[in-house]
A and B are shown apart, each in its own frame.
Chain A
Amino acid sequence: MTRLVLFVPLLLFAVMAVYFGLGLREDPSEIPSQLIDRELPPFDLPPLEGFDAGLSSRDLRGQVSLLNVFGSWCPPCAVEHPMLMQIARSGAVPIYGIDWKDPPGAGTAWLERNGNPYVRVGDDSEGRVAIDLGLTGAPETFLIDRAGRVRYRHVGVITPEAWRDTLRPLVEHLQSEAEQG
């Protein structure tokens, strides 16, 4: 009996190794989202402190846009922010924001400190919408087409490379598709 107990650590590791293996099979930056090619779940979020307008899923209709989920508590978001500012300044695509699980005032302070790349920001302090979106963490960004459908999901920081090689080509493709259609 005691001899068998000694194998418990090995057993636990075996279970984990299987999970690691399964986890590896999926590139984390391409976690298949149930939402791909489906309409965005409807939501209507209140504005951040000091802002007039909140964010509703209806705001995302009629144009190609990025929906970025961030939080002032999230270090990677601080890394990503300058890139968002740059995209916003370039005017390539409008960016909408969801401030996720922030205490009151924190999101506003964050935008004041780092600049505001968003056309509109919704305050998801309870994380409800984040659950509907199936978020794995912050930051995460969804590419939304004219019909308000999710077309691509980017997990983690939008690095200059990710923007140049993946997101911008997709945005441009969707924009030209929209013009023709």
Chain B
Amino acid sequence: MIAELGQFALILAFVVALGQSVLTFAGLRTGDRVVHDFARAGALAQFALVLAAFACLTALFALSDFSALVVAENSHTDKPFIYKLTGVWGNHEGSMLLWALILTGYTAALALTAKPVEARLVSMTFAVQSLITAAFTAFLIFTSNPFARLWPAPENGQDLNPLLQDPGLASHPPMLYAGYVGFSITFSFAVAALLDGKVDARWARIVRPWALTAWCFLTVGIALGASWAYYELGWGGWWAWDPVENASLMPWLAGTAFIHSLRVMEKRDTLKAWTVLLALLAFSLSLAGTFLVRSGVLTSVHAFAVDPTRGVFILAILIGVIGGSLALFGLRAGLLKPTGMFSEVSRESTLLVNNLFIGAACALVFFGTFYPLFVTTVSDQTITVGAPFFNATFNPLMGVLLILVPVSGMLAWKRGRLAPIARKLAPALVAALAAGLVAFWIADRTRIAGALGTALALWIAVGVAIDLAQRTRLFDAGPGASLARAARLPLGIWGMAVAHFGLAVTVFAITGVSAWKQETSAFMMPGQSLQLGGYTLTLDDVRRTERANFVSEEGAFSVTRGQRDLGGLVAERRFYPVRQMSTTESAIRTRATGDLYVTLGEPSPERGWPVHAYIYPFAMWLWIGSAILALGGLLSIADRGRRALAARRPAPPVPAAAAGEVDA
């Protein structure tokens, strides 16, 4: 009964989406207000219907109804309740339903926040967005029905892959999807703008919060995925240039370029076609990401559901959405004439360089990810592109880009001068060189990477501090005056500073984790010890315990450094009988200076337990750095609200159109 209700809701959502899209496009010719109200109501109805379908699927999982195929294949009565719920999207059908839910969620959010002044643009955006919804609900209904029945119903389910029974991985897909799908709104706005043949600063201002929202979610989603790999895979690998990781990195890069070029468009009314193209690309790459994971075109750990017939459907969606929008771009982008001019030395030009570098980096990742596919389709040869390729190409490109970060923020719009900025940034250069030398001296005589990374991180961080000090006149005005200036700085400036600072922290952490990692391993019997980087690790005891849906083997270690007792660590191995799989739960001692990471292996009767220990310097700053990055994005989103309030406050009789412009 519940499954059938969900099925009906999903089919209705498809019909509403398709109808709303077609009727809205048709109605836009008349320019009637009714069209806008209709499109809005349709957007809300789609969300309500998909939400109902999602609730039905959740109920099936919560009640462990094994007559539903998806539940039987992915759940089990003994599974902890929370993982029954997160199991809803731990499988192909459910995760696509989540995709559709978030898609309609964004559309509904637009319906609730859009201002009537923008009726035409927003209605058109609704129409494009609903077309995407129709495509994806059709994909669900025809190829990936989450409500398929299984008869006779089995007594119990096959359990969720134990690797997926983890808080990190349970929260990672919703975040990532919120990022991917968030770019659908900016995509739809871009298509609407192309159809209208008009984009301007106002368009940029409306679109910016949506782009930033998607970008923040994607940042957090990628960080959660990396931290899941770090904690769960048992060897501390947080980024492996796996095709699916690359698939999330590409829209992030395109999105990063997009939010920077949006700023140029908003301020200077230029780079129009380029910005619109980035909006199209960010969502296209998100779709390609979904395509990668779901079709099995590239096999990887993430391809839990490999099915070529679905691939054909997704390919059709890709051709429609990406091909259609790029064709529209070719036809209409010529109409988008820039008005602002800028010289070679200006904030615009540095942001353009930023865009070109990020674009090149994105193309590199794309090339590296798909090259094996290209080669296998044209010849019988097969090749792989691994981490060495990406490290040798992506890292230097990003390194050069990072040098520009503090310079760009300080340059004036339109026409800037480099000499005064060079003078202002001199302390940052000194700090960077000093830190690089220190890092080289202490840690990294054999390789230069650690020193370079440290220097770059310091350059950005000190550069950001100098920029803020300048803006608040920290060294010229009194403390009170500076504080007042700081309070008056637009949140957007704070957002930029915070995000760039987060970038510096992340760069530093990446440097630490990859350049200065230490590891060792040994077979250990209880009572034996192991040395690593000044720590002494003693295996005290190994215990076996039976848990609800797994058997656990726990190795208790005590850690000392010199004479100091640093407490205990427990590394665990879990065996899941239903799936006959085991997983490792690493013991991690996290400190600001680095993680001590210990895993327990499968014992051998004569030699004891194989123990592997690692030191990952500054690992926790990876997560903190990416959180700061996302916080920067959040501050910039908040900026819009504050400026809108400020505009409303004086409240002289403003013409309606102008007020709407500021509010939107």
Contacts and interface: CB of A to CB of B under 8 A. Distances in A.
B386 interface: yes
| Chain A to chain B: the 8 pairs with minimum beta-carbon distance, closest first | A115-B602, A112-B610, A113-B601, A7-B330, A76-B301, A10-B326, A156-B299, A22-B377
B476 interface: no
A137 B301 CA distance: 11
A9 B519 CA distance: 46
A152 B379 CA distance: 20
Given A13-B322, A73-B237, A73-B387, A3 B610 contact: no
B380 to A, nearest CB: 6
A24 B334 contact: no
9 contacts: A2-B334, A6-B330, A6-B334, A23-B377, A25-B308, A78-B234, A114-B601, A160-B580, A160-B581
Interface in B578-613: 579-584, 599, 601-602, 610-612
Interface stretch (B215-223, B290-298, B404-412, B437-445): B290-298
Interface string A119-139: 000000000000000111100
Given A9-B329, A28-B306, A75-B240, A20 B297 contact: yes
Given A6-B334, A19-B373, A82 B298 contact: no
B580 A21 contact: no
A21 B582 CA distance: 37
Given A6-B273, A19-B374, A29-B299, A113 B330 contact: no
A29 B296 contact: yes
B330 A109 contact: no
A76 B280 CA distance: 32
Contacts of B319: 17
B550 to A, nearest CB: 12
A115 B601 contact: yes
A9 B521 contact: no
Contact of A9 (B299, B300, B330, B334): B330
B609 to A, nearest CB: 9
A73 B303 CA distance: 18
Contact of B582 (A25, A82, A137): A82
A24 B602 contact: no
B367 to A, nearest CB: 11
Nearest to A130: B384
Contact of B329 (A6, A26, A156, A157): A6
Given A9-B281, A17-B319, A113-B601, 10 more contacts: A6-B273, A6-B329, A9-B326, A13-B326, A21-B315, A24-B311, A28-B298, A31-B382, A137-B300, A160-B579
- Residue among A72, A82, A156 with the highest chain B CB neighbour number at 10 A: A82
A156 B323 CA distance: 31
Interface in A23-56: 23-29, 31, 34
Contact of B382 (A23, A72, A85, A134): A134
Nearest to B374: A19
A170 interface: no
Nearest to B611: A113
Given A29-B306, A73-B240, A82-B581, A23 B297 contact: yes
A137 B602 contact: no
Nearest to A78: B233
A134 B601 contact: no
Interface in A70-115: 72-76, 78-79, 82-83, 85-86, 101, 109, 112-115
B41 interface: no
Nearest to B381: A134
A112 B322 CA distance: 48
Contacts, number: 142
B242 interface: yes
A52 B382 CA distance: 32
- Residue among B280, B295, B376, B523 with the highest chain A CB neighbour number at 10 A: B376
- Residue among A7, A9, A34, A79 with the highest chain B CB neighbour number at 10 A: A9
Contact of A20 (B233, B318, B582): B318
A49 to B, nearest CB: 11
A16 interface: yes
Nearest to A16: B370
A17 B312 contact: no
A168 B410 CA distance: 65
B370 A85 contact: no
- Residue among B297, B377, B599 with the highest chain A CB neighbour number at 10 A: B377
A178 interface: no
Given A2-B334, A29-B306, A31-B382, A14 B323 contact: yes
Contacts of B329: 6, 9-10
Given A9-B329, A17-B319, A137-B384, A28 B599 contact: no
B403 interface: no
Contact of A137 (B284, B299, B374, B610): B299
The interface size bin for chain B is 35 or more
A23 B370 CA distance: 10
Contacts of B376: 23, 26, 31, 136
Contacts of A155: 299
Contacts of A3: 334
Interface in B277-292: 277, 280-281, 284, 291
A135 B384 contact: yes
Contact of A113 (B281, B296, B315, B610): B610
Contacts of A160: 579-581
A154 B284 CA distance: 31
Interface string B173-193: 000000000000000000000
A16 B374 CA distance: 9
B229 interface: yes
Nearest to A110: B235
B385 to A, nearest CB: 10
B612 A75 contact: no
B327 interface: yes
A153 to B, nearest CB: 11
A110 B306 CA distance: 28
Nearest to B292: A20
A24 B601 contact: no
B568 interface: no
- Residue among B277, B281, B306 with the highest chain A CB neighbour number at 10 A: B306
Nearest to A140: B299
B492 interface: no
B327 A10 contact: yes
B611 to A, nearest CB: 8
A24 B308 CA distance: 6
A19 B306 contact: no
Interface in B3-41: none
Interface in B299-342: 299-301, 303, 306, 308, 311-312, 315, 318-319, 322-323, 326-327, 329-331, 333-334
A130 to B, nearest CB: 8
Contacts of A6: 273, 329-331, 333-334
Contacts of A14: 323
Contacts of B311: 24
B602 A85 contact: yes
- Residue among A13, A29, A156 with the highest chain B CB neighbour number at 10 A: A13
A31 B386 CA distance: 20
A85 B601 CA distance: 12
Contact of A34 (B303, B326, B380, B523): B380
Contacts of B333: 6
B242 A75 contact: yes
A3 B334 CA distance: 6
B372 interface: yes
A102 B386 CA distance: 12
